[in-house]
Amino acid sequence: MSYLIYCIFRGPLPPALEMPDGVGGHRVFSSNYNGLGAALSELPEPDPVDTPNRLAYERVVESFYRHVTVVPLRYGCQVECPYDAVVLLREHEDAYRALLRELDGFAEVGIQVLLGGPAAESETPRRRILPDWLALPSRLSANRGRRTRHPDDDSADLAAMAQDAWVEDLCELLHGSFVRHKVDLPSSRKSCLLSLHFLVPRDSVETFRSAARRLPTHPSFQLQLSGPWPPYNFVDALQP
């Protein structure tokens, strides 16, 4: 039998925390070491990676996150027995404590750049950017100059430089409303150009969302906001 790990937290847990059922309806409990805890439940056999299981997993993480600072783990992180979770906490105690301090008081907010037309009517109207939708930064002009000087560079290189410049300028427009960000490129361009993840103070999430709704857009794509979430995308180095 294996046990699924949902998150690492710093105890004790508050009485107000309502523990939902875990994946497969299994009871969620914690293994603890020196003031740190790991939320666990038995792993169903077999363990289908389907939407209901993922939603159950996320509900558990979010139930902890509403009350304590957590290091949220990716679905599928597991140990062979509850004592292995204690070993995990002991061996990585300093790293987990440092990460919990770093994440204390923060949430994750996402922005996806999606293909497929203008933003939904419910969103605040956004001003359009320049006709060439990646031509926000002056750096792009410099990139074009380099393209002229180096004709062997292919269009993919130019697109990558333009995308990097556009992301940098987007972050500059949101400067002051987040402390860290991360960019993920999609495996397919059919539905999404890229995803951006921002670490935002919990008490400033609405300020960030308001600023994001005023970001430039273009008829061929839209910016879609998500969150706030537990900061899944800022703990990858410590996934067991």
Element (H, E) at 111: strand 106-115
The predicted structure's pLDDT at residue 186: 64
The predicted structure's pLDDT at residue 217: 66
Ordered per-residue pLDDT tens for the chain, 240 residues: 799 999 999 878 888 788 888 998 899 999 999 999 999 999 877 666 678 888 999 999 999 998 899 999 988 888 999 999 999 999 999 999 999 999 999 999 998 877 654 443 333 333 323 223 333 333 333 333 444 444 445 555 665 666 677 677 778 888 888 888 888 876 555 556 778 899 999 999 999 998 888 877 666 667 788 889 999 988 875 555
Element (H, E) at 164: helix 155-173
Nearest to 198 by CA among 164, 163, 221, 231: 231
Tell me how far apart the alpha carbons of residues 197 and 226 are, in angstroms, rounded to a whole number. 9
The predicted structure's pLDDT at residue 230: 93
- What's the predicted TM-score (pTM) here? 0.73
